[in-house]
Amino acid sequence: VLAAVGDRMAGKPGVAARLFDALARARVNVRAIAQGASERNISVALDMADATKALRAAHAAFWLSPQTLSLGVIGPGKVGAALLDQIAAAAPRLKREANLDLRLRAVAASRRMWLDDAGDSAQWRSLLTDSTEPCDLGRFASHVQAAHLPHAVILDCSASDTVAAHYAGWLRAGIHVITPNKHAGAGSIERYRAIRAAATSGAARFRYEATVGAGLPVIQTLRDLLDTGDEVHSVEGIFSGTLAWLFNRHDGKIPFSALLREAHAQGYTEPDPRDDLSGTDVARKIVILAREAGWGMSLDEVIVENLVPASLRDVNRQEFMQRLEEFDSVMLGRLQQATRAQKVLRYVARLDRGGKAQVGLVELPREHAFANIRLTDNIVQFSTKRYRDNPLVVQGPGAGPEVTAAGVFADLLRVAAAVGAPL
Amino acid sequence: VLAAVGDRMAGKPGVAARLFDALARARVNVRAIAQGASERNISVALDMADATKALRAAHAAFWLSPQTLSLGVIGPGKVGAALLDQIAAAAPRLKREANLDLRLRAVAASRRMWLDDAGDSAQWRSLLTDSTEPCDLGRFASHVQAAHLPHAVILDCSASDTVAAHYAGWLRAGIHVITPNKHAGAGSIERYRAIRAAATSGAARFRYEATVGAGLPVIQTLRDLLDTGDEVHSVEGIFSGTLAWLFNRHDGKIPFSALLREAHAQGYTEPDPRDDLSGTDVARKIVILAREAGWGMSLDEVIVENLVPASLRDVNRQEFMQRLEEFDSVMLGRLQQATRAQKVLRYVARLDRGGKAQVGLVELPREHAFANIRLTDNIVQFSTKRYRDNPLVVQGPGAGPEVTAAGVFADLLRVAAAVGAPL
């Protein structure tokens, strides 16, 4: 197949290694090989069917940086678009300083997708809009994992459970998976275990730092504590910027319903504020942390206080928004009770050793760290064997497209480091 | 050299790649190779002089995990000893769960060293004590970088500038260097640049997370912000647990000198408390962060407020400890001035975009985050383009052997990930 390695490579140690490594990665079955003493020739016999794949792989091995990552992004919504913009902006610097070659090769939305045979990836917005290619995640994944590029990464910025169902298969095929989507981490424990098993047995990584605290270093910090042999006693925190804002503002002067309307109008809540007020989103984050800590917990095991009055849980969104006043008397009562005890109300999640978890409204002393965070901040406290007297604390904005995309991007850098980029 | 690969490997794709990769790493010059169609035989012709090296490398390639790290620890003091204990305790789990094989092969103290030909590494304390081998960092490094192990890491837990002078050479030789020693990061800018250049040009990594905030994720967090394209506007914080304790406690009821004596007796200060009070140690951390941010700054460019009265700067330690009362009137005056303005005193470091830095005592509003940290905590606030309204905050104990060792260990895990461990 390769008649001559060429003068450029001749005699350099490692040429054969690089070639065979590339052929192995491309899953080319080598039948026989021979290398002359001049080291200018390496002959490889292989099946005819593998010839194109082998040529591409050999070419890539000698002409591309080994830190070339083929990227496919699913879900070009707010987070996905911010991520694509961040990658485009940072790529030249990463290329220059870390020899990291990030190549956007596919973008998939729910209905259509764009694969890069057709145009310049910087124009992904218009290329995707103009594309008539229906979304097919099988074809998408094969395209991202092109034989001629050494590594493939799928970045799932959708909020889709259907996409999460593909992760284990992609990982088994050697495609790295990175996501801010909580469905895999907090979904069925069987699927989670299959994803973990696929990631640990092979060379592909599964990372999802941005599922908790967006760009804040939460999951990596927990992993480092555990991997260096610390013992986690508890993880406590405020994991919802929306609920943080509501209870930081709720002082009895303005009815809770008015604050809720303001938060909704400002875009601080989900389109249906019940998605925040039910506590399920916070519970999902706690499940993710519990599983990271090795406590194989499921969402239904978390004790969750749903702040939505029973009368408003089953009505449609429009009716819900009209009847927000039904929150007011209960919330005012809770606030007055806390105030009488010289305390404040906060919506807090707590995870204890072994996987006992609860999420709900608690009364805290005014000087408590959780009582003094900035309006929409998240805060996480790790109490461990080493951080026993004083916990390790991470705090800051825990939502928003820019910081969430940055969390996904940081995971991508971790994958780049794992394939050799000096990061 | 290799007459038969053996049944275990026969026919598996990638066998040739693995062999040639191992030979290339061991710098064996391959003259000619041939592989039969059965894939049971790979013949390699090489120089007689390389034969032993090649055999060891081939053996390692097939019988050792590629994530085998040969470790050498320098400076088995409090941090070094804690690190060795942590590694020994965590190693079985890392082996089981991440196929990571950590092998302690050498420990060097200032006078003597132990190299592992002679005994079980778990017994390093007695082996080092019994060793008659004088410390020789050249021999130490060659021993750690054994030809038959794929990767070598030197963990420098000394506080020695002499050891830091070896880093660039070790990195160029392909040895990873990890350290909580601030001499390289905050020392001469030329040496720092040589170390960086050696790390970026080759495959070996230089990591020093534990130099700032011990086990707190500070440098990695800054790197991720920068590498994902964020822009750092300022980094502010309290970087000395000793000074945090002193100013958290100093309320005018007890003289400053009495607090200082108590802190010294409790072991919160350095043996000579002037090493804390001068602010130099805090300034070193700021220099490290400035350089990470790409602002090539030196220690003498930091504006540092030295809290030691001029009259006590040049006396010996014993006399200094006897004359601590000379702090009292100045410190009380500063405190009263702050109190009149409804403020508190904190020893704060601030780094601004481009590399303007100052370290000193400042008056802060009582509700400021820095005014409400736990007694000996460190706190770091990153204000960036993305974290503009609310900064990203990391807080917790920033000193002590256990958490410092954990910071070094976390860096070691990052190196392990870079050579393929699924971490």
Spell out, as residue ranges, where chain B has pLDDT lower than 70: 1-15, 25-26, 36-41, 52, 56, 59-66, 117-119, 147
Contacts of B367 in chain A (CB under 8 A): 372
Task: Tell me the per-residue pLDDT of A151-198, one tens digit each, with 9 for 90 and over.
Answer: 999 999 999 999 999 999 999 999 999 999 999 999 999 999 999 999
- pLDDT of B408 reads 98
Contacts of A392 in chain B (CB under 8 A): 215-216, 395-397
- pLDDT of A301 reads 97
Per-chain mean pLDDT for chain A: 90
Looking at per-residue pLDDT, the higher value among A153 and A148 belongs to: A153
Asked whether A345 and A362 are in contact (CB, 8 A), the reply is yes
- Within 348-377 of A, beta carbons closer than 8 Å to B belong to 367, 369, 372, 374-377
CB contact under 8 A, B230 and A94: no
Strand B101-108 relative to strand B68-74, pairing = parallel
B23 touches chain A (CB under 8 A): yes
- pLDDT of A89 reads 94
CB pairs under 8 A between A and B: 209
- Within 222-241 of B, beta carbons closer than 8 Å to A belong to 223-225, 227-230
Which one is catalytic: A285, A343, A356, A385? A285
Residue A8 has pLDDT above 50, yes or no: no
A410 touches chain B (CB under 8 A): yes
Q: Which residue has the tokens 């694969």?
A: A115
B65 touches chain A (CB under 8 A): no
Sheet holding B101-108, edge to edge: B113-115, B101-108, B68-74, B151-156, B176-178, B206-207
Contacts of B406 in chain A (CB under 8 A): 224-225, 228, 230, 386
- pLDDT of A205 reads 95
B402 touches chain A (CB under 8 A): yes
A65 touches chain B (CB under 8 A): no
B418 touches chain A (CB under 8 A): yes
Mutate to test the interface with A, among B19, B23, B245, B390 (most CBs of A within 10 A): B390
Please tell me which residue of chain A has the smallest CA distance to B229: A90
CB contact under 8 A, B386 and A406: yes
Contacts of A61 in chain B (CB under 8 A): none
Asked whether B406 and B217 are in contact (CB, 8 A), the reply is no
Nearest Cβ partner of A417 from B27, B375, B418?
A: B418
* Active site members of B: 285
Query: Smallest CA–CA separation between A237 and chain B, in Å?
Result: 14
CB contact under 8 A, A200 and B35: no
Contacts of B213 by beta carbon, 8 Å cutoff, 6+ apart: B239, B285, B378, B380, B394, B396, B398, B407
- HEC states along chain B? CCCCCCCCCCCCCCHHHHHHHHHHHCCCCEEEEEECCCCCCEEEEECHHHHHHHHHHHHHHHHCCCCEEEEEEECCCHHHHHHHHHHHHHHHHHHHHHCCEEEEEEEECCCEEEEHHHCCHHHHHHHHHHCCCECCHHHHHHHHCCCCCCEEEEEECCCCHHHHCCHHHHHHCCCEEECCCHHHHHCCHHHHHHHHHHHHHCCCCEECHHHCCCCCCCHHHHHHHHHCCCCEEEEEEECCHHHHHHHHHCCCCCCHHHHHHHHHHCCCCCCCCHHHHCCHHHHHHHHHHHHHCCCCCCHHHCEECCCCCHHHCCCCHHHHHHCHHHHHHHHHHHHHHHHHCCEEEEEEEEEECCCEEEEEEEEEECCCHHHHCCCCEEEEEEEECCCCCCCEEEEEECCCHHHHHHHHHHHHHHHHHHCCCCC
- pLDDT of B1 reads 46
Averaged pLDDT for residues A392-418: 96
Straight-line distance from the first to the last Cα atom of chain B, in angstroms, rounded to the nearest whole number:
35
Residue A7 has pLDDT above 50, yes or no: no
Contacts of A14 in chain B (CB under 8 A): 20-21, 24
CA B55 to chain centre: 35
Please tell me which residue of chain A has the smallest CA distance to B88: A229
Please tell me which residue of chain B has the smallest CA distance to A374: B390
Task: Tell me the per-residue pLDDT of B247-294, one tens digit each, with 9 for 90 and over.
Answer: 999 999 999 999 999 999 988 899 999 999 999 999 999 999 999 999
Looking at per-residue pLDDT, the higher value among B50 and A365 belongs to: A365
A16 touches chain B (CB under 8 A): yes
Nearest Cβ partner of B21 from A17, A90, A387?
A: A17
A310 touches chain B (CB under 8 A): no
Please tell me which residue of chain A has the smallest CA distance to B402: A386
Number of H helices, E strands in chain A: 17, 14
Please tell me which residue of chain B has the smallest CA distance to A231: B90
Distance CA B237, CA A395 (A): 14
Distance CA B335, CA B87 (A): 45
Residue A39 has pLDDT above 70, yes or no: no
Residue A324 has pLDDT above 80, yes or no: yes
A9 touches chain B (CB under 8 A): no
A32 touches chain B (CB under 8 A): yes
- Within 177-216 of B, beta carbons closer than 8 Å to A belong to 199-200, 203, 205, 215-216
Residue A306 has pLDDT above 50, yes or no: yes
CB contact under 8 A, B24 and A13: yes
- pLDDT of B45 reads 80
Residue A200 amino acid letter: T
Averaged pLDDT for residues A215-231: 97
Contacts of A388 by beta carbon, 8 Å cutoff, 6+ apart: A233
- pLDDT of A122 reads 81
CB-count burial class (<10 Å; 0-12, 13-18, 19+) for B67: buried
Residue A35 has pLDDT above 80, yes or no: no
Distance CA B401, CA B144 (A): 24
Hey, how many other C-beta atoms are within 10 angstroms of the C-beta on A260? 24
- pLDDT of A232 reads 97
Contacts of A228 in chain B (CB under 8 A): 86, 90, 406, 409-410, 413
Contacts of A24 in chain B (CB under 8 A): 13-14, 16-18
- pLDDT of A5 reads 43
Residue A41 has pLDDT above 60, yes or no: yes
Query: Smallest CA–CA separation between A21 and chain B, in Å?
Result: 5
B86 touches chain A (CB under 8 A): yes
Contacts of A86 in chain B (CB under 8 A): 228-229
Please tell me which residue of chain B has the smallest CA distance to A377: B390
Q: Give how far Cα A43 sits from Cα of A26, A60, B13, B18, B365, Å.
A: 17, 17, 17, 18, 74
Task: Tell me the per-residue pLDDT of A68-119, one tens digit each, with 9 for 90 and over.
Answer: 999 999 999 999 999 999 999 999 999 998 889 999 999 999 999 999 865 5
Nearest Cβ partner of B35 from A33, A90, A395?
A: A33
Query: Smallest CA–CA separation between A277 and chain B, in Å?
Result: 23
Query: Smallest CA–CA separation between B7 and chain A, in Å?
Result: 16
